[in-house]
Amino acid sequence: MLSLIAVKEAIFITTTQQSLVVLAQHGDEEAFYQLIEQEQHKLYRMAYVYVQNENDAIEVFQQTIIRAYEGLPQLKEPRYFATWLTRIMINCCKTYMAKKNTIQLVEPQSLADLNSTSPTYIEEELDLWQALCQLEDKYKTVLLLRFYQDYSVKDIAVILQCPEGTVKTHIRRGLQALRQQLKGAYLDEWVQSAERSH
C-alpha cells in the first residue's frame, strides 16, 4: 500500500520542476530543455511502444515536444506538467498511427536484455505483446500506462482526463480480454509481478 506522501509524489512534480515550468512558460528555453530532459526516456519509450520503430518514435517524440512548447503557456497547473506531457504524447501517437493506418506494439527491450533472458520468458513476452496489439485502443492505453509506465490508477485518470472508475473498468476489461487470448497462468503472474513492483 503506497503512503499518502508517495501517492502525492507520484501525481505532482517537485517544487523545483514546478519552478522550471513557470520559467519555461515565460519563454526560458533552457528551463524547458531541462524539463524535457527529465521526461525524455519515459516519453520515447511510450512512443516506441506504439509506433514500433526508432525513426517513427523519434518523429512522434519531436511532435510531442513541439506541441508541448507551443501549448505550455496555456498550462494552468504547473504541478501537472508530467501528466500533461504524457497526455500530449499519447495523442501524438494516436494521430501518427491513424495516419499510418497501423497499430502495432513492440516491447522496447535491448539486445542485452534479450541475451540475458530465457527463451521461454521471451516467448511469453512476445505472446503478451501480440495479445495487447489486438485490444481496443482504450484498453491498450490504460494497460500500457499501468503496467509498463508505472502510473497509478489516479495518475492515469489525470492523464486521460476520465474518472478513476473508468480507468479501473478499462484495466479489468483489458485484462479479461488478454486472458481470453492467452493460455496458462503467465498473464496472472505478470500482473502480480507488476503490482508488487508498485
User: How many Å apart are CA 192 and CA 195, to the nearest integer?
Assistant: 5
* Cβ contact 72:32 at 8 Å: yes
Contacts of 69 (CB under 8 A, 6+ apart): 32
Which set of grid coordinates corresponds to residue 89?
504524447
User: How many Å apart are CA 108 and CA 106, to the nearest integer?
Assistant: 6
Which set of grid coordinates corresponds to residue 66?
513541439
CA distances (Å), origin 12, targets 19, 49, 83, 173, 187 = 13, 25, 9, 28, 31
* Cβ contact 160:167 at 8 Å: yes
Among the residue ranges 44-53, 60-69, 89-98, 165-174, the one predicted with the least confidence is: 44-53
Q: Which residue matches cell numbers 484498453?
A: 139
Q: Does residue 169 surpass a pLDDT of 70?
A: yes
pLDDT of amino acid 9:
44
Regarding predicted confidence, which is higher, 8 or 144? 144
Query: What count of Cα atoms within 13 Å lies in the side-chain half-sphere of residue 127?
Result: 17
Mean confidence (pLDDT) of the chain = 76
Q: Does residue 131 surpass a pLDDT of 90?
A: no
3-class DSSP state of 3: coil
pLDDT of amino acid 106:
52
* Cβ contact 107:143 at 8 Å: no
* Cβ contact 57:49 at 8 Å: no
- pLDDT tens-digit map of 56-115: 889 999 999 999 999 999 988 888 888 899 889 988 988 888 777 654 555 544 434 444
Q: Does residue 11 surpass a pLDDT of 50?
A: no
User: How many Å apart are CA 83 and CA 105, to the nearest integer?
Assistant: 22
Regarding predicted confidence, which is higher, 114 or 170? 170
